[in-house]
Amino acid sequence: MRRGREALTFWLFVGPFAAGLLLFTYVPIGWSAYLSLFDAHNTVAPTEFVGFDNYVDVLTDRAFLDSLGTFTVFAAFIIPTTVVLSLGLALLVNRIPIAQVFFRSVFFLPFACSYVVAALIWKMSLFSGVDSGVANTVLGWFGVEPQAWVGTVDPPLYWVVLVTVRLWLQLGFYMILFIAALQRIPRHLYEAAWIDGASPGWQTFRYITLPGLRGALVAVLTLNLINAYQAFDEFYNVLGDSRGYAPFARPPLVYLYYNSLGSGGQDLGRGSAGALVLALVIALATLLSGKVSRRRR
Amino acid sequence: MTRIAHWVVLALAVAVFLLPFAVLLRDGIGADWSTVADLFSDKELMFTRSLVNSTVVAVLQTAGQVVLCSLAGYGLARVRYRHAPVVLYAVMATLMVPTAVTFVPSFVVVSSLGWLSDFRGLVVPGLFSALNVFLFRQFFLDFPVALEEAGRLDGLSRWGVYWRVVVPNATGFVAAIAVIDFIGSWNQFLWPLLIAQDSDTWTIQVALSSLLTAQNPRVTLLFAAAAVSILPIVLVFAVAQRYLVRGVTETGLTGQ
């Protein structure tokens, strides 16, 4: 009797959420796995079974492999710069005696801005190709010719635009994580180190601060990796225009969007196969990064 | 000497971080107020409509997320039920699946429900955040049991204890989660881009993007629209910064 009542109470609290999770997470994944084995052009109830053809299609598609390459390049730029700069900001802000809240707010403010708005500012003003664009004005002071940032492939200047826009948007977020972690490092550790003759600066940073930030570093790296993998908004808005999307720099989600859901007709079987392959790749990457950071301990 | 260098670096960083906002204001509002008036009066731009849509979506989604996820988090933290560990495991497992990777599958489900270009399609699938449930559960695990027991002795049921004792003592945490959810909902782009195919249901981000990727974009108009679109969020930011910082710390450090 009592057990039955507890069950009822449990489902009263958890039931609505669990039902939604089932319908909007588990059912889609299962349905997708099913669709990925069918020819599903513009339909969610396909009849033509094609086995693993969709998977073969995706994995032999040059554009898909290119999208993984694009992600790798993007991650190689964005992850190290984000970690170093957000930690740098956190150290700068954490050390000042006054107006900490003001400085923290300034660096965190871009978090409130959407990728669409930021892409707009970057594309139309900061890195616009005209001579009066902000970046080109700065180049002009040093006598350098104006550049067509977004459209320049050789050298790939568009990466400057894509990386800086994401840095501006997310540095404050990661800075907050580092500040929280810094404030959890017990102050007496530093005092003990000074008494033992350690110089404040590199020595205490290397042997007290850095080990104290281990958890935060792993969190920042993992979140950064997952977020970079899912990059879509700034790519779509910076590189897309009325003629469509640029022929280069399509990360996985942009590839998936244009190849299975975009204007060229829906191919849900292939899109599902692509989504499942991507899910597998990110799961492996996350596991691997977890392994590596554990070994470092 | 190093102290001066410290402040110089800090000042430079502040200038770099504020520059994009300065540009936005200069090119948008700074131009003239008639541009802003155009924005609201030209029906073709869908600007007013999309602002209203975004407000509806963000408010409903935030409220729904907070209510559903806090209830689930509390149930998973406190109610002793034989199969609770299995349910908890099933919820946590979805944390490993990045939301954006499931966008094709979710699109399939939403379109077969007939929810394309429909508010239900925009709001409902985003309500079930496993991350929120996880955070609420962690918070409720640390909630003082004595308070809840006092409520039980007063004759309240678990449901009654939840609403009369637990929620009133958790407002700070609820606000932290709500602020994060609201900003996320207002700024989301990919999902509404897929679902709001009819311009009547565009959210503000989709409307801005269509202005940006249009043929010969009207630059002043674009910047004015962008400036107006971030006003609600800047307001939320200013009023609730304390909660925002707390929410970010919680979601970032425990959410992985």
A20 in a domain, yes or no?
Answer: no
How close B242 comes to chain A (CA, Å)?
Answer: 10
Flag if A114 and B189 touch (Cβ within 8 Å): yes
Instruction: Give tens-digit pLDDT for B41-63.
Output: 888 788 999 999 999 999 999 99
Burial (CB count within 10 angstroms: exposed 0-12, middle 13-18, buried 19+), residue B73: buried
Interface pTM, i.e. ipTM: 0.91
Flag if B108 and A44 touch (Cβ within 8 Å): yes
Flag if A112 and B98 touch (Cβ within 8 Å): no
Q: Does B210 touch chain A (CB under 8 A)?
A: no
Instruction: Give tens-digit pLDDT for B214-224.
Output: 888 888 888 99
More confident residue, A160 or B96: A160
How close B225 comes to chain A (CA, Å)?
Answer: 9
Instruction: Give tens-digit pLDDT for B133-192.
Output: 999 998 999 889 999 999 999 999 999 999 999 999 999 899 989 999 999 999 999 999
| CA atoms of B207 and B47, how far apart (whole Å) | 7
Question: How far does Cα A252 stand from its chain's mean position?
Answer: 12
Question: Which residue of chain B is at minimal alpha-carbon distance from A93?
Answer: B10
Give A-chain residues touching B11 at CB under 8 angstroms: none
Suggest the residue from A116, A164, A256, A293 to mutate for an interface test with chain B (most B CBs closer than 10 A): A116
How close A196 comes to chain B (CA, Å)?
Answer: 23
How close A199 comes to chain B (CA, Å)?
Answer: 15
A63 in a domain, yes or no?
Answer: yes
A2 in a domain, yes or no?
Answer: no
Give B-chain residues touching A17 at CB under 8 angstroms: 68-69, 71-72, 91, 128, 133
How close A168 comes to chain B (CA, Å)?
Answer: 7
Q: Does B223 touch chain A (CB under 8 A)?
A: yes
How close A100 comes to chain B (CA, Å)?
Answer: 11
What was the pLDDT predicted at B256? Answer: 40
A5 in a domain, yes or no?
Answer: no
Q: Of A234, A239, A241, A237, which Cα lies nearest the Cα of A249?
A: A239
Could you tell me if A54 and A272 are in contact, meaning their C-beta atoms sit under 8 angstroms apart? yes
**Concatenated DSSP letters of A28-52:** HHHHHHHHTTB--BS-SS---B-TT
Instruction: Give tens-digit pLDDT for A69-126.
Output: 999 999 999 999 999 999 999 999 988 888 888 899 999 999 989 999 999 999 998 9
Give B-chain residues touching A108 at CB under 8 angstroms: 244-245
- Point out the residue among B212, B226, B252 whose CB comes nearest to the CB of A219: B252
Average pLDDT over every residue of B115-137: 93
Look at chain A and report how many structural domains it folds into.
1
Q: At B255, is the pLDDT very low, low, confident or very high (cuts 50, 70, 90)? A: very low
Low-confidence residues in chain A, pLDDT < 50:
297
Flag if B101 and A177 touch (Cβ within 8 Å): no
Please state, for a pLDDT cut of 70, what percent of chain B lies above it.
95
How close B81 comes to chain A (CA, Å)?
Answer: 6
Q: In the beta sheet, which residues pair with residue A244? A: A241
More confident residue, B38 or B84: B84
- Structural domain boundaries in chain B: 20-254
The pLDDT mean for chain A works out to 87
Could you tell me if B147 and B169 are in contact, meaning their C-beta atoms sit under 8 angstroms apart? yes
Average pLDDT over every residue of B80-102: 84
- Point out the residue among A3, A35, A121 whose CB comes nearest to the CB of B20: A121
A4 in a domain, yes or no?
Answer: no
Instruction: Give tens-digit pLDDT for A193-214.
Output: 888 888 777 888 888 899 989 8
**Residue numbers of B between 126 and 165 with CB closer than 8 Å to A:** 127-128, 130, 133, 158-159, 162
Degrees, nearest 5: CA angle A46-A52-A53:
75
Give the number of A-B residue pairs with CB atoms closer than 8 Å.
Answer: 258
Q: Which residue has the tokens 């590199």?
A: A202
- SS3 label, residue A98: coil
What was the pLDDT predicted at A296? Answer: 56
Burial (CB count within 10 angstroms: exposed 0-12, middle 13-18, buried 19+), residue B34: exposed
What was the pLDDT predicted at B99? Answer: 65
A236 in a domain, yes or no?
Answer: yes
Q: What CATH number does residue A286 fall under?
A: 1.10.3720.10
A24 in a domain, yes or no?
Answer: no
- Point out the residue among B18, B194, B256 whose CB comes nearest to the CB of A219: B256
Spell out the SS3 assignment of A129-173.
CCCCCHHHHHHHHCCCCCCCHHHCCCCCCHHHHHHHHHHHHHHHH
Degrees, nearest 5: CA angle B194-A285-B250:
70
| Superfamily of structural domain B20-254 | MetI-like (1.10.3720.10)
Q: Does B191 touch chain A (CB under 8 A)?
A: no
Q: Does B197 touch chain A (CB under 8 A)?
A: no
* Domain interval for residue A129: 54-295
Q: Which helix (H) or strand (E) holds A240?
A: strand A240-241
**Residue numbers of B between 41 and 70 with CB closer than 8 Å to A:** 68-69
Give B-chain residues touching A275 at CB under 8 angstroms: 101-105
- SS3 label, residue B78: helix
